[in-house]
Amino acid sequence: LSGTQLRGAERRGARVRGSGELLGLGSSGTTLALAGRVEGVDLSRWKDRLPVDRFGVQGALSGSFRVSGPSNRPSIRVDAASPQLRTRDLAPLKEVRLLGAWEPRGWRVDRLSLRLPGGDLSLSGKGSRSAKGMGPFSLSGPFSGFTTRWLARPEVLPFRGTLGGVLTVRGDGNRVLGEATLRAPRVVWKELEVERLSGKVGLDGRRITLTRLGGALLEGSGYLDGTVLLPEQAGDPLVDLKGTVADLRVGGWAAQHLGDLRLTGLLDGTFRVKGPEKDLKVEAQGSLDRPVVQGLAFSALTFRLTGEKDRLELQEVKAHLGGGSATGRGTLRDTGTGWALEFSVAGDDLELS
């Protein structure tokens, strides 16, 4: 049967127009060769076939299609677009375009491109499906221009800078995971400036996982690994992060943040911060190379500290000066305008002349 036309047909509220051929009609199998357009595909009405609920996707698509193959196992190619879609966690998605295919046992995305404020994202990949629903899938591709303007809740990631990299989204009908490989020339997190940022950030529901995220800072380097659990609604993120730093030149930072404590040197060490963001617990240990404290030059200094973000207990500080050594304990308190130090020290065989 040739010249078949579909006029004014509807499918889950979408308007369908098309024409083509039905070969073998009336026999044991019918082969389709159809093409046309569809308008007003409301994605919320296709959540049994697409993972729209997982991302909170809202909006409609329109575009062209081609259907070929046996009627019981057709292949459907689509070229669809939308001026705007909305999701649960991101700013509105603009200029969305999807090129792909719906196959008998799965689906394929040749290109999914979209624009967000100041940047864009392009993904491709494939997924499987069965009578039980969505099977495993994976999408991956580059993004650029990522800032807090992309987020529906910018306060969740309070950084300044512009990120680029590669995003991978994978999962199945029950779980969706995201991972981004990041790069940026410069990022400022709170008051800390990081240059040549690199690393990976994973997202599993509300859990963010950091893998060797860091770069150059204070003329040295620093990297973070660990997790941040985002609150369901209002509330503090729950943090569990470990870090390493190397060759940090701390003089400028100390002059800005440690008040009357004059301190210079190159810092190496490890640290861990854990707990709600407003009540973080801190553990750290490390060493200062060529340290100068209050004008007194030591050959080496090691330390161990614990505490909270506004009060640090210096539990063990050891310094070497000439052939002697000194040990000390103390407290660093955030006064709101700077840090105040209370410290006691004892020494052996110190040469102070």
| pLDDT value at residue 115 | 96
| pLDDT value at residue 337 | 75
Overall average pLDDT of the 222-242 stretch: 89
Instruction: Tell me the pLDDT band of 3, cut-offs 50, 70 and 90.
Output: low
SS (H, E, C) the chain: CCCEEEEEEEECCEEEEEEEEEECCCCCCCEEEEEEEEEEEEHHHHCCCCCHHHHCCECEEEEEEEEEEECCCCEEEEEEEEEEEECCCECCEEEEEEEEEEECCEEEEEEEEEEECCEEEEEEEEEEEECCEEEEEEEEEEEEEECHHHECCHHHCCEEECEEEEEEEEECCCCEEEEEEEEEEEEEECCEEEEEEEEEEEEECCEEEEEEEEEEECCEEEEEEEEEECCCCCCCCEEEEEEEEEEEECHHHHHHHCCCCCEEEEEEEEEEEEEEHHHCEEEEEEEEEEEEECCEECCEEEEEEEEECCEEEEEEEEEEECCEEEEEEEEEEECCCCEEEEEEEEEECCCCC
Residue, of 209 and 234, whose pLDDT is higher:
209
| pLDDT value at residue 193 | 92
**Quick check: 56 and 88 in contact, CB under 8 A?**
yes
Q: What is the pLDDT of residues 57-113, one digit of tens each?
A: 899 999 999 999 988 889 999 999 999 999 888 899 999 999 999 888 889 999 999
Overall average pLDDT of the 316-324 stretch: 80
Residue, of 125 and 3, whose pLDDT is higher:
125
> Burial, 8: exposed, middle or buried (Cβ in 10 Å; 0-12, 13-18, 19+)?
exposed
Residue, of 294 and 195, whose pLDDT is higher:
195
**Quick check: 45 and 52 in contact, CB under 8 A?**
no
Residue with tokens 């009357």: 260
**Quick check: 209 and 225 in contact, CB under 8 A?**
no
Token pair belonging to 59: 């909006």
Instruction: Tell me the pLDDT band of 235, cut-offs 50, 70 and 90.
Output: confident
| pLDDT value at residue 339 | 76
**Quick check: 37 and 15 in contact, CB under 8 A?**
no
| Residue type for position 61 | L
| pLDDT value at residue 295 | 81
Give percent of the chain above pLDDT 90.
Answer: 51
Indicate whether 48 pLDDT > 80: no
| pLDDT value at residue 93 | 95
Residues, the chain: 353
CA distance 325 to 338: 29
Instruction: Tell me the pLDDT band of 126, cut-offs 50, 70 and 90.
Output: very high
Instruction: Tell me the pLDDT band of 326, cut-offs 50, 70 and 90.
Output: confident
148 closest CA partner among 126, 169, 177, 119:
119
Q: Which residues contact 353 (CB under 8 A, 6 or more apart)?
A: none
| pLDDT value at residue 158 | 79
| Angle at 205 (CA atoms; ends 199, 209), nearest 5 degrees | 25
Among 118-122, 136-140, 158-162, 188-192, whose mean pLDDT is lowest? 188-192
φ, ψ for residue 249, nearest 5 deg: -85, 105
| Residue type for position 340 | A
| pLDDT value at residue 4 | 60
179 closest CA partner among 203, 147, 163:
203
| pLDDT value at residue 167 | 97
Indicate whether 50 pLDDT > 70: yes
Overall average pLDDT of the 126-154 stretch: 88
Residue with tokens 């609604």: 233
Indicate whether 222 pLDDT > 60: yes
Residue, of 155 and 103, whose pLDDT is higher:
103
Residue with tokens 């063990």: 316
Q: What is the pLDDT of residues 332-352, one digit of tens each?
A: 888 877 777 787 877 665 555
Residue with tokens 């020290």: 345
| Angle at 104 (CA atoms; ends 29, 62), nearest 5 degrees | 105
| pLDDT value at residue 274 | 96
Overall average pLDDT of the 267-292 stretch: 93
Give percent of the chain above pLDDT 70.
Answer: 92
